[in-house]
A = this chain, B = another copy of it.
Amino acid sequence: MLCLFFSDVHITLQPDIAFGGARVLIRQIRNKIIDAILLRTHRNDVARRQLKPRFGELPPEMWGLDVDSAGELCVAGWSVRELAEEHGSPLYIVDEERLKQNYHDFRAAFTKHYPKIDIGYSYKTNPLPGAIKILHDAGASAEVISEFELWLACELGVPPDRIIFNGPGKTVSSLEKAVSLGVKLINVDSVDEIERINALAAQQNRVQAVALRVVTSQGWSAQFGIPIAGGLALDAFRKMKEASHLDPCGLHMHLGTGLKDPDTYFKAVQDMLDLGVELAESLGIRIRHYDLGGGFGVPTVKPFEGWDTRLLQSGRPAQLIDPAAAPDISVYAKGIAKLFAQYVDTADPDCPEIVLEPGRAVSSSAQMLAVRVLTVKEDESRRLAIVDGGKNICIPLGYEYHEILPANKMREPQVQPYDVFGPLCHPNDLLVQGKMFPRLEAGDTLAVMDAGAYFVPNQRNFSNPRPAAVIVSRGKSRVTRKPERFEHIVALDADFSPDALS
């Protein structure tokens, strides 16, 4: 017999003591407690949630968007609905000016406080060559994690001394290419790689600059890097120093994704700086590049946490986005620079460089995904809208809350919550649950915001071709990626001729 007293909540359950029964019991206890808390502690919030419309939580101005006199959502003066009609739906829309501005703002936040900054855009975040090119033209370097991305950087004309090569599983051929190019830094992830890179550099009679990906006391460890703890990173540097064709000159960390806690970041930076001192003292190695990675969260996206998952499972909408939860990048910049000032002389022209590898922080808010409503289904209990893009192209909506705007009905009243699903035959093909919208009908266009991070790399051909992308600015729009046609999906299959491609 189990008795559970939780303030005024009193639960009595007769558990079957066998394992199956115990499992059921746990689930019952958990659900009872959660329901009790939902009703009690959270009563006000629940009430607010049910009354507060989900649409308009974050105004379109958060993304620099306008609404025209007809109530249409506009990017740089272009109607989202019209763009989707002209170029086909689903459609990625890249806001060129905002993308540039995001980059400049990110860079400026750091250069204001520290003299030597290199910003390497994380290719994996949004590998649309047209969008990446805008960032390179604005001054960004390239952060790549595979041979494909290394190749793409070369194709986009990035000089090798502006390419940083990361990743836990670098193939031999990718390392060979990186060494032959003489990229700025290869960030070594394992002891194995030290010998492998050295051998390749020796073959090519080159000296390759390398950094070590370290595990700090904070953030991700998993399969990545070599821990500072236990002297393991120091041992790896000893090996790199002994290697005839390596120039060990950098430290690399990467703490996570969507980070919203500057203190975590600062503690890890401190670990890096302390290791830098130790390397100088015990091995005479001078760290010229402190690569602090990326992973900065943005104010307009909210990763689902435990509580959201519960709410979603119980058919409720997830928690509201709190834009204030993501600190401005200047908070990171200021704090990091302050730490560096304690360790290095920033007036010295030889002071180390800080490398940053933002992805989401730069591109997330500069891109949206337009989808079209195919069908609306209603019964007494709820309304469903089925749209033409689901978990084939909207993977992040499974683990983050993104604003979704009714692009052609921005001034209509929000009448009822909708569950918005994609077109795939799977119950998890859900874009958003219980979100207030104006009355939706087939043909309406919805704008999934912040589609500039982890949408494009995660998209798949699940029963459907992949979308086109258009880049817009004031008075100009251009297709940067054509829509995939059916023929393209099977272009590499025997019995389907590549001639079909054009």
Which of B19, B145, B460 interacts with A459 by CB under 8 Å? B460
Chain B residues with CB under 8 A of A42: 19
When the two chains form their complex, are residues A377 and B223 in contact, meaning their CB atoms are under 8 A apart? yes
Q: Mark A181-207, 1 if CB is under 8 A from B, else 0.
A: 000000001111100000000000000
Q: Is A155 an interface residue (CB 8 A)?
A: yes
Instruction: Point out the residues of chain B lying under 8 angstroms from A493, CB to CB.
Output: 128-130, 480-482
- Check B148 against A464 for contact (C-beta < 8 Å): yes
* A374-B169 CB under 8 A given contacts A463-B457, A486-B152, A495-B133: yes
Contacts A22-B41, A169-B388; A220 near B34 (Cβ below 8 A): no
The one of B30, B374, B427, B481 that contacts A171, using a Cβ cutoff of 8 Å:
B374
* In the bound complex, CA of A170 to CA of B374 (Å): 7
Chain A residues numbered 442-493 whose CB sits less than 8 Å from any CB in chain B: 442, 457-465, 468, 478-484, 486, 488-493
Kindly specify which of A4-12, A276-284, A330-338 makes contact with the partner chain. Answer: A4-12
Q: Are A375 and B2 in contact (CB under 8 A)?
A: no
> CB-CB < 8 A to A491: which residues of B?
488, 501
0 or 1 for each of A150-193: is its CB under 8 Å from B? (1 = yes):
01100100000000001111110000000000000000011111
Taking CB as reference atom, which chain B residue is nearest A166? B425
B494, A167: Cβ atoms closer than 8 Å:
no
Distance of A42 Cα from B20 Cα, bound (Å): 11
The interface bits of chain A over 213-250 (1 if a CB of B lies within 8 angstroms of the residue's CB, else 0) are: 00000001111100100001000000000000000000
Residue numbers in B under 8 Å from A459 (CB-CB): 460-461
B490 touches A129 (CB 8 A): yes
Instruction: Establish whether residues A384 and B223, one from each chain, have CB atoms under 8 Å apart when the complex forms.
Output: yes
A376 CB-CB contact with B under 8 Å? yes
CB distance from A408 to the nearest CB of B (A): 18
**Nearest B residue to A169 by beta-carbon distance?**
B423
Smallest Cβ-Cβ distance to A490: which chain B residue: B129
Whether a CB of chain B sits under 8 angstroms from the CB of A270 is: no
Closest to A36 in B: B22
Residues of chain B lying within 8 A (CB to CB) of residue A64: none
How many copies of this kind of chain does the complex include?
2
Which residues 341-355 of A sit at the B interface, judged by CB distance below 8 A?
none
> At the interface, yes or no: A37 with Cβ under 8 Å from chain B?
yes
CB–CB A494/B479 < 8 A: yes
A376 with B29: CB separation less than 8 A: no
A27 is an interface residue with CB less than 8 A from chain B: yes
Q: Which of B129, B220, B479 contacts A496 (CB 8 A)?
A: B129
A223 touches B429 (CB 8 A): yes
The verdict on A387 contacting chain B, using a C-beta distance below 8 Å, is yes
Task: State A190–B478 Cα separation when bound (angstroms).
Answer: 37
Pair A494/B480 contact, Cβ less than 8 Å:
yes
- CB pair B168–A223 under 8 Å, yes or no, is no
When distances are taken between beta carbons in the complex, the residues of chain B under 8 Å from A379 are 227, 232
Closest B-chain residue to A502, C-beta based?
B498
Given contacts A168-B423, A193-B375, A220-B427, 10 further A-B contacts (CB under 8 A): A29-B33, A124-B424, A146-B463, A190-B377, A192-B375, A192-B376, A223-B421, A457-B463, A481-B493, A482-B492
Q: Which residues of A contact B (CB under 8 A)?
A: 1-7, 15, 17-19, 22-23, 26-27, 29-30, 33-34, 37, 41-42, 123-124, 127-130, 133, 145-149, 151-152, 155, 166-171, 189-193, 220-224, 227, 232, 254, 257, 306-307, 374-377, 379, 384, 386-388, 390, 419, 421-427, 429-430, 442, 457-465, 468, 478-484, 486, 488-496, 498, 501-502
12 CB-based A-B contacts, threshold 8 Å = A6-B15, A22-B37, A124-B424, A124-B425, A129-B494, A129-B495, A145-B463, A152-B490, A167-B423, A192-B442, A457-B463, A491-B501
